[in-house]
A and B are shown apart, each in its own frame.
Chain A
Amino acid sequence: MIVRTSQLRKDYGSTVALRNVDLQVPSGSVYGLVGPNGAGKTTLLGVLAGLRRPTSGTVEIDAEWTKVAVLPDTPQFDAWLTGREVVDLARSLTDASVPASRVDEVLEQAGLADAARRTVGGYSRGMLQRLGVASTVVGRPTLLMLDEPSSALDPAGRREVLDLVARLRGEATVIFSSHILGDVQEVCDTVGILRAGELLFQGPINRLLVGSAVPTYRLRMRPPSEAAVSALRDAPWVRSIERVSGEEVRIFVESVEAAEKHLAAALAGTDVRIVSFGPEAATLEQVFLELTS
């Protein structure tokens, strides 16, 4: 584990921002820290980065502090500096032994090579975000903490930032906080779900998606389909059925095993014309809502 916290608690007066959080971030992972607004994501990253002091508990980071980089949600820089100067300042402060050519390299990766000599006062929001990412990676960090790096961007800007994060896989451990679950599902391999300062779940994202949500099947039929719906509704291994459209239903089952064993036979016993059926992969959004509701 590159990051490990134990019973981490942070109070702001009478408000508890973090409640006994035991965070474990595997080395080399892209860890998605998800939660609704006010869940404590920024506070947790602030404590990990040393910008806030915990009320109690411990933080262990298995990386040199010069190799830990932090990107706030809305990075800001002195407007009269050029993009290249910002990244070069980040390089010299983080690790002056990193060659200056690295500055141009990360600006190129961030798609800012053409704007590198312009002052950042004229940069768009997306460009500032990408400049922030370039500034965090220029010192070749082993641990990056990105706080909502894509939340306020337009679709094109969001795509660029997600691609930048995806490229970091294998080069560094990334902690990526977001309330946009699709982004987390796309780039993260490990996830932690925070709600009201409590860590409700953490682990590989695949385990979360398979293990936590109610198993669901999606079935398409030619109308009339009432006979099939009626037969399934009476089956003991079916929890409930939700009609998606005239031709399609979602079947919530007790277990995948039970559905695999009985679903085909139950449908065969009716005269309904079946177009297709199969298990429906749970989305992070479904799991998240299930855990946090």
Chain B
Amino acid sequence: MNLWRLEWLRLVRTKRWIALVGVYVFFGLLGPLTARYLAEILERFGGGVEVTFPPPVPADGMIQYISNVSQMGLLVAVVVAAGSLGFDAKPEMGVFLRTRVSEVWDILVPRLIVTFLAIAASFVLGALAAWYETVVLIGSLPVGGTLAGIGYGLLYLALVVAVVAAAASRAKSVLSTVLITILVLLVMPIIGVVEAVGEWLPSHLVGALADIPAGAGIGDFVPAAGVTVVFVGLSLWLAVRWSAAREL
């Protein structure tokens, strides 16, 4: 038994992986389906009201997927990450680990990496499901652009995990870790309303998987990706610094 296996067991035995994979794959399958049959669905439940939509285009499949997972998927990801990274939330558990490692980094690394890989794998599986179904139901997507969109999405999720780590190093409970993280993640799109600033913010990456197939350039997201990399580093630095300074 070691700290890497501990994190693996946390995912498997607590069924957290099912929550992650379930929510991303569910929305991956639901998104293109909704995009393809939205008019029919609204007609059936609209009490005879005829609704006219333009014919769906392939990008709509990814737009639906992103609009769903950027809320529900993100919430599940934050809760799962907070449950793993908030190792001091129960001080007795923190004492067990902290008195047996030389640096707090030794505890953080497996939790950061295993949690990120689980969230990333779920996001990619959901995106692949959405991609496949979009191709089947609506039409093909540009391979390069879609892969780039997935890459930008992964970069944003790395930031989410890093922000959770920083929040957990200050918060006294898993719930407060979740709330602090959501607050930080919500502030970014609000600031991003200012157009000149928005394209530099990490939150700009959330829509990359939808925007690139819809016609945006891959390079349009490079400034936000650069800022995100800096923010990831900053968040991890804060997480280590604050965790090391924390008293139990």
Contacts and interface: CB of A to CB of B under 8 A. Distances in A.
B110 to A, nearest CB: 12
A69 B95 CA distance: 10
Nearest to A93: B100
Interface residues of B, number: 22
A88 B14 contact: no
Contacts of A233: none
A78 B3 CA distance: 12
A75 B96 contact: yes
A93 B247 contact: no
A78 B93 contact: yes
Interface string B80-117: 00000000001111011111111000000000000000
Given A51-B247, A78-B10, A81-B9, A90 B96 contact: yes
Contacts of A65: 102
Contacts of B99: 49-51, 68-70
B71 interface: no
A92 B2 contact: yes
B6 interface: yes
Contacts, number: 59
Nearest to A88: B1
Contacts of B14: 80
Nearest to A92: B2
Contact of B101 (A49, A76, A80, A93): A93
A38 to B, nearest CB: 17
Interface in A10-68: 46, 49-53, 65, 68
A70 B1 contact: no
Contacts of B90: 76
B248 interface: yes
B93 A77 contact: yes
A77 B102 contact: no
Contacts of B95: 49, 51, 70, 72
B100 A90 contact: yes
A85 B247 contact: no
A74 B248 contact: no
A135 interface: yes
Contact of B248 (A51, A78, A85, A91): A51
A91 B3 CA distance: 12
21 contacts: A49-B95, A49-B99, A51-B95, A51-B98, A51-B99, A51-B248, A52-B247, A52-B248, A53-B247, A70-B95, A72-B95, A72-B96, A75-B96, A80-B10, A85-B1, A89-B1, A89-B2, A89-B3, A91-B1, A92-B1, A93-B101
Interface of A: 46, 49-53, 65, 68-70, 72, 74-78, 80-81, 85, 88-94, 135
Interface of B: 1-3, 6, 9-10, 13-14, 90-93, 95-102, 247-248
